[in-house]
């Protein structure tokens, strides 16, 4: 029955085609879509005619399948496979790009941290240089503003008197310079030990204890019997206490009592307090 139905449909289609062919076409030509539909219909008709003749010649059942279905399915399968491969490749590339991007971000973070550290160090160095430059300029201004110390006079007595007057005026900086110049200019003069004593006084007042101790030692070398010698010995012991040399300070105080037993009461009293500070036995 199915075969008869198919044959009947094929015959009807073949008889209908001439009628369609004899029908006059409208004046306007068919558009592309209509032309394609007619082409598909004609193809179906040809396939049906082939089926009819095949059944007639062989006498065997004919299996009818939709035209081009298998081919379309196969084509779609191939395209789907291609798309899957392309998608896999794209996924792989995407993963590689993501990995590279992560590494680039980490590297960028490390570089930024290093740049920040270097910038901080540079800023610290620039500040240090600026502070040193400012300190140097301030010192230069102080030196330029300070009055120049008088040069030692050609007469030793006049030079000593001038330096002593600076000390009495409280100009310790220039007094130090003047007494130092006197000691250098007149190393063998009779008043040079006393000049060393007064040089020690200018340094002691300014808390330059190491330099003051050196000046006092030069002044009392030989233990001179002068009015200022006991005080120079006492100031030497006090400078040594300030320099955290209590043993040397105690030895100096012992020499003070032995070398100058008739020292003024004020010096003896200060010597006792210095012994307490030095923790002498």
Q: What is the mean pLDDT of residues 221-233?
A: 95
Sign of CA dihedral 10, 12, 18, 19: negative
**Residue 31's pLDDT is what?**
63
pLDDT of residue 17: 42
Give mean pLDDT, residues 113-131. Answer: 74
Helix 265-278 with 229-242: angle, nearest 10 deg: 20
**Chain-wide mean pLDDT for the chain?**
79
Region for 207 from its dihedrals, namely left if φ exceeds 0, alpha if ψ lies in -120 to 50, beta otherwise? left
Q: What is the pTM of this model?
A: 0.48
62-66, 155-159, 164-168: the lowest-pLDDT one = 62-66
pLDDT digits (tens, 9 = 90+) for 65-74: 555 566 667 7
**Nearest by Cα to 172 from 144, 198, 143:** 198
Phi-psi domain of 153 (left: phi exceeds 0; alpha: psi -120 through 50; beta: other): beta
Instruction: For residue 7, count other CB atoms closer than 10 A to its CB.
Output: 17
222-242 mean pLDDT = 95
| Section 2-30 average pLDDT | 48
What CATH architecture applies to the domain 156-278? Alpha Horseshoe (1.25)
Q: How confident is the model at residue 264 (pLDDT cuts 50, 70, 90)?
A: very high
pLDDT in tens, 161-200: 999 999 999 999 999 999 999 999 999 999 999 999 999 9
């Amino acid at each position: 029955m199915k075969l008869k139905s198919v044959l009947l449909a094929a015959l009807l289609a073949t008889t209908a085609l001439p009628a369609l062919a004899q029908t006059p076409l409208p004046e306007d030509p068919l558009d592309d879509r209509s032309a394609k539909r007619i082409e598909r219909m004609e193809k179906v008709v040809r396939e049906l005619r082939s089926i009819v003749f095949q059944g007639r010649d062989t006498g065997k059942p004919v299996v009818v399948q939709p035209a081009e279905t298998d081919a379309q399915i196969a084509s779609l399968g191939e395209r789907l496979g291609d798309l899957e491969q392309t998608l896999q490749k794209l996924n792989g590339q995407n993963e590689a790009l993501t990995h590279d991007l992560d590494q680039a971000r980490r590297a960028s973070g490390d570089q930024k941290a290093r740049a920040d550290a270097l910038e901080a160090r540079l800023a610290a160095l620039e500040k240090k240089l600026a502070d040193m430059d400012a300190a140097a300029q301030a010192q230069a201004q102080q030196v330029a503003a300070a009055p120049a110390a008088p040069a030692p006079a050609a007469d030793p007595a006049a030079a000593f008197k001038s330096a002593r007057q600076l000390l009495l005026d409280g100009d310790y900086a220039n007094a130090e310079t003047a007494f130092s110049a006197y000691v250098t200019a007149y190393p063998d003069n009779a008043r040079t030990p006393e000049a060393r004593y007064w040089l020690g006084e200018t340094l002691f007042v300014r808390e330059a204890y190491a330099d003051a101790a050196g000046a006092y030692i030069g002044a009392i070398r030989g233990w001179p019997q002068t009015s200022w010698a006991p005080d120079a010995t006492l100031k030497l012991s006090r400078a040594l206490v300030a320099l955290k040399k209590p043993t040397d300070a105690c030895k100096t105080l012992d020499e003070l009592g032995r070398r100058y037993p008739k020292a003024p009461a004020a010096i003896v009293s200060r010597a006792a307090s210095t012994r307490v500070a030095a923790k002498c036995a």
